Structure 1
Amino acid sequence: MALTIKGIEAAKPRPDKKNGKLKTVRLADGNGLYLEVTETSKLWRARYAFEGKEQMLSLGKYPVVGPKEAREKNFLLRQQISQGINPALERKKEKSLIKEAIKEEKRIARGEAHPLSVEAVALEWLEDVRKRWKQSTYDGEKKRIIKHIITPLGAMRIDEVKPSDVRSLFEKMEAENKFDTLRKIAENTVRIFNFGIAVGKCENNPAYSIWKGLSFRRPDPHRDSVT
């Protein structure tokens, strides 16, 4: 028999006959849904079986979650089970996504780059090669990478960058006759994506095929400089 608001409001834990302590009461609502009544709370729970194992899932506290909403949640839970989905695992995935979203909001508020962004991977690569370069070389390369790679592509996830994005980047420098700069940036773009693959942050190098197709014409000394 379905629970009523009156019955829910009146429900209280019962004294244990052996020790006199208040004992949790479970009131069945039907279809595996019940209300767990303790001294301090009334909690909706759903009991279900998945792959032969009995499991329980919390559906919220009364009165924040009323009986109608609890039944709707229980119905959706049963639908998931019929589709071969374990509601408990889905709940864990949802919580994980929420935690990631909160972390992302805090990261943005602090002005930090996403760990999978082109900016983050490019800076990580720079730190990795820093020990093999002179300080002056490092400073110059970092300045160029920030200007020509991070500024236009930095906010993108490195695993979502397409060859067309890289092509546009290179074409802009080519149109400006910055062939020496283009050569250096093309080489470092390939290296950054190779580094991203090595550290498991992307699977493909969209810069490689574009880089191989570049002619790197001899720069006009009156029109080009490495910047």
Structure 2
Amino acid sequence: MKRSLTDTAIRNAKPHQDGKPKKYTDGGGLYLLVSPTGKHWRYDYRHHDKRKTLAIASYPEFSHSEAREKHTEARALLARGVDPSQHKRELKMADATENTFEAVSREWLARNKDGWSESHYDRSISYLTRDVFPLLGKLHLTSSPP
């Protein structure tokens, strides 16, 4: 696969003079999209005869070599028949459900169960299930309260 971008070219990349985004290709579908608001790594690919684009990351948060690594991972997923965009969404969803108030609370209860009496554990789980989880259970812990 031919690589065409260099670190110097990436640092000096500018959008079109009229402010429209400009693509700087790196090969294999990977490119740097430069807009007036920033520089972003993207990967164009085809899955089930549909053209798709995977947003990899922003530059300089992700270096050229890191973007190439992510690109290689996405190509490997495609080779196995997995849509990289769908895979990325599924990973985000799994992370979001692992960090909900209910998931963390249940984990905390399980860790502390051995040190509590059975009646204390039963009251705690009953209270959380009945009163707290319906209101706060789906709340992602990095978000602010409703």
CA-atom RMSD, angstroms?
2.4
Q: Give the TM-score of the pair, scaled to structure 1.
A: 0.45
Aligned counterpart, 1:99: 96
Match of 1:69 in 2: 66
Pick from 77, 80, 86: which aligns with 1:80?
77
Q: Secondary structure at the match of 1:58?
A: strand
Partner residue, 2:36: 39
Report the Cα distance in structure 2 between the residues aligned to 1:148 and 1:7, rounded to whole angstroms: 64
Which deviations, in whole Å up to 9, do the C-alpha atoms of 1:149-171 show, x marking residues without a partner?
948xx7xxxxxxxxxxxxxxxxx
User: Hey, what's the Cα distance between the residues in 1 that align with 2:26 and 2:8?
Assistant: 14
Q: Which runs of 4+ in 1 moved over 4 A?
A: none
Q: Once the 2 structures are TM-superposed, how far is the Cα of residue 88 of structure 1 from its aligned partner? A: 1.1
> Could you tell me whether the CA contact under 8 Å between 2:31 and 2:42 is conserved in 1?
yes
Which of 4, 17, 30 aligns to 2:6? It is 4
Aligned-pair CA distance for 1:98 = 1.1
Q: Distance in 1 between matches of 2:50 and 2:4?
A: 25
Scaled by the length of structure 2, the TM-score of the pair is 0.69
SS in 1 for 2:81: coil
| Percent of aligned positions that are identical | 30
Amino acid across the alignment from 1:15? Q
Determine helix, strand or coil for the equivalent of 1:14.
coil
Letter in 2 for 1:71: R
Structure-2 separation of matches of 1:102 and 1:149 = 22
Change (3 A) 1:52 1:107: same
State the shift of 1:148 in Å: 9.9
Q: Which runs of 5+ in 1 are unaligned?
A: 17-21, 118-145, 155-227
Can you list the C-alpha shifts for 1:156-202, whole angstroms capped at 9, x where unaligned?
xxxxxxxxxxxxxxxxxxxxxxxxxxxxxxxxxxxxxxxxxxxxxxx
Report the Cα distance in structure 2 between the residues aligned to 1:23 and 1:108, rounded to whole angstroms: 44
Provide the C-alpha distance between the structure 1 equivalents of 2:39 and 2:12, rounded to a whole number of angstroms.
11
Q: Over alpha carbons, which structure has the higher Rg?
A: 1
The letter of the residue matching 1:80 is L
- Output the amino acid matched with 1:74: H
TM-superposition CA deviations, 1:63-105 (whole Å, max 9, x none): 11111111111111111111011111111110101111221xx
